[in-house]
């Protein structure tokens, strides 16, 4: 009899690192996991609508909300990785200066088109543009990436001149140049967490997967994807 597969859902930001870690977990334990990666907003909606998953892997805030609403097992939350935001331009385009907050503000004001993700980093950047007092000025040049569509793919097609997204999501996109991370003064770090679905039939297996994601054995895969262990 084959062991049941752990079923999970995650946001796109952690898709690549989870592919690596799920393979490592299977090698170590013999237990397979199938994690579906979609836009984070859509993932949270599906869990909230009652779709059954053994594990749910999203940014910390949506995990807290799903747990408070009774969709995830109380006390099952595990913070496992931090992810920072980087900036990309189309391949061959001039590289803007990102050395300071003022330099990034100037680059945003100079860009003919700008795109942010629909996830937590995009929300935080929108607030930053409001704090800078430029949100209205740049609004006509903002290109919204649909949920689940990487900002980097819009940059690669030349539809966007300046793209902001988590480094992990930009690393493997062809046709772009990663200019670099945001400077420390305005860096936006998203903590990704995981929780066990309220209706999971595989609590023990799910718990061991979440422990593996947060373990030292997972550190190398996280660093390879431009992330840091939580």
Beta strands in 12-119 (DSSP E): 33-38, 55-59, 78-90, 114-116
Flag whether pLDDT at 13 surpasses 90: no
Instruction: Label residue 148 by pLDDT band (50, 70, 90).
Output: confident
Mean pLDDT, range 8-17, rounded to an integer: 93
DSSP H helical ranges for 30-119: 40-48, 60-68, 101-110
pTM to 2 decimal places: 0.86
Is 151 in contact with 88 (CB distance < 8 Å)? yes
Q: Which residues pair with 178 in a beta bridge?
A: 88
- Listed residue (143, 113, 144) closest to 41, CA to CA: 144
Position 3 scores a pLDDT of 72
The phi and psi torsions of 181 (rounded to 5 degrees) equal -75, 160
Flag whether pLDDT at 214 surpasses 90: yes
SS3 call for 14: helix
Flag whether pLDDT at 124 surpasses 60: yes
């Amino acid at each position: 009899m084959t062991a049941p597969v752990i079923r999970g859902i995650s946001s796109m930001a952690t898709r690549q690192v989870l592919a690596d870690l799920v393979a490592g977990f299977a090698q170590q334990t013999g237990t397979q996991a199938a994690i579906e990666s979609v836009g984070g907003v859509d993932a949270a909606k599906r869990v909230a609508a009652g779709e059954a998953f053994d594990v749910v892997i999203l940014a910390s805030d949506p995990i807290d909300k799903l747990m408070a609403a009774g969709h995830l097992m109380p006390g099952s939350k595990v913070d496992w990785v931090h992810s920072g935001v980087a900036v990309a331009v189309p391949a061959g385009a001039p590289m803007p200066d990102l050395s300071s907050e003022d330099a990034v503000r100037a680059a945003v004001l100079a860009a003919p088109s700008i795109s942010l993700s629909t996830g937590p980093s995009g929300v935080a950047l929108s607030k930053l543009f409001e704090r800078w007092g430029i949100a209205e000025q740049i609004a006509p040049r903002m290109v919204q990436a649909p949920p689940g569509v990487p900002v980097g793919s819009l940059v690669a097609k030349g539809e966007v001149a300046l793209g902001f997204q988590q480094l992990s999501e930009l690393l493997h996109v062809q046709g772009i140049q990663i200019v670099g991370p945001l400077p420390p003064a305005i860096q936006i770090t998203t903590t990704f967490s995981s929780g066990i679905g309220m209706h999971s039939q595989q609590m023990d297996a799910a718990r061991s997967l979440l422990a593996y994601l947060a373990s030292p054995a997972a550190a190398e895969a996280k660093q390879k994807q431009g992330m840091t262990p939580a």
